[in-house]
Amino acid sequence: MDAKTKYKAKKIKAVFFDIDDTLRIKDTGFMPDSIKKVFSALKAKGIVTGLASGRALYGVVPEIRALEPDYYVTINGAYVVDKKGQEIYTDALPKEVIEKYVTWCRQVDIEFGFAGGQKPAVSKRDDLVDNAIGPVYGQVDVDPDFYKHSSVYHMWTFEDQGDVLQLSDDLLKDVRLVRWHENSSDVIKNGISKASGLAHVLEKLNLKPENLLVFGDGPNDMELFDYAGLSVAMGVSDPELQKKADFITKTEEDGILYALEELGLVEKELHFPQMDLTAVQGPIATIKTNHGDMKIKLFPEHAPKTVANFVALSKDGYYDGVIFHRIIKDFMIQGGDPTGTGMGGSSIYGDKFEDEFSMEVFNLRGALSMANAGPNTNGSQFFIVQNSKLPYAAKELERGGWPAPIATLYAEKGGTPHLDQRHTVFGQLMDEASFQILDAISAVETGAQDKPVEDVVIIGVEIED
């Protein structure tokens, strides 16, 4: 995410979401559990939340209502209410326009429907109509004269013609088609959109478009993306909509949470793999030495490029016969340089490669980290943290910015917190036997430049994918 987008995020005071294929999957009704966290976290920060949907209020399913959004911009902006159901803005279609539309539908031989303020209606029920409208509103009443006794806020086509179907020139003066289903388009009053509906909410809140973030996926979000200060398209959204977006979510189910975390509007939920290695998905490396073996779980999710480098070098036999050239008791053991001088070594990328820092992995005792000569100078050299004595209390580390669980672990087990965010952590010793070997190696006699008097040799590194 670029700096410009993150700067825009600092101005956000309201976040509105489309429903179908944004908050939930329209065809299956699936809504990620993370959506509940999203609404709760935004509200906790005092950010206004809302829905901006083509659905009418009666089509908002219970699990979405349970999120308790502050505002509902419904029927593509023609019907806007607050969380108490009080109307903020409504704009019904003139009856003469509806009559022209009904006449046209009969002339071109297609079925039609109406979205009223309290209920919908259709001209006829058949498989084509039910397949389109059923997943949104369930079984809809048949009432081709609905508009004669109820206000209508937008209409629908039901047909199998797709975008070939075009309104008459006379109708185009008043309404437009917006495709939302392969067998249906919304028929929306010109000048009305989710954006126009949201403008009334912002006016009530005394906010500007630059204070608004929107999430969407389809053609009826186009005007909304043009209007809002910041827009996020779902990973599976309309390609044309993605072109307008400031950011595109991952396609995974927690894409909205991910986007808000990246924007800094929701605090990231941290997971610390070093606290439970059994839950970590990743390769296992066994560093075989002339003093014994050390078994290490690698962290490809947190340092993908670094792990790929280490795994490839290990499988190629790059580390075979290489020594630990620098050993400092109560600090670390360092190796991975084929020259044995601490001045050599190269990566699989042909040159030095960039650091991969994370606030989820740390230089705790037993951590496998990359040695470097400054920022973004990683090659083949690595070290394993051996220090077991830390001169800081957990509270001191917390005050310094370390997460509380990690601060506690540092205080209990040791490590080198001063190396965090300076050296890429990409693995952790897995068992007590490995720690015993680490401590034994750290205790060997050393001479000039902390080099062991007798070589500590890496016989090889075995990788279990």
User: Could you give the residue numbers annotated as active site?
Assistant: 18
DSSP annotation string for 190-254: TT-SHHHHHHHHHHHHT--GGGEEEEE-SGGGHHHHHHSSEEEE-TTS-HHHHHH-SEE--SSTT
Tell me how far apart the alpha carbons of residues 293 and 289 are, in angstroms, rounded to a whole number. 6
- 3 state DSSP class of 16: strand
- Residue 130: other Cβ atoms inside 10 A: 15
Q: What kind and span of H or E run contains 317?
A: none
H helices of 264-390, in order, are: 304-315
Tell me how far apart the alpha carbons of residues 194 and 220 are, in angstroms, rounded to a whole number. 8
CA distances from 227 to 68, 78, 233, 245, 383 (A): 24, 16, 14, 11, 52
For residue 72, with 0-12 CB atoms within 10 Å meaning exposed, 13-18 middle and 19 or more buried, which class applies? buried
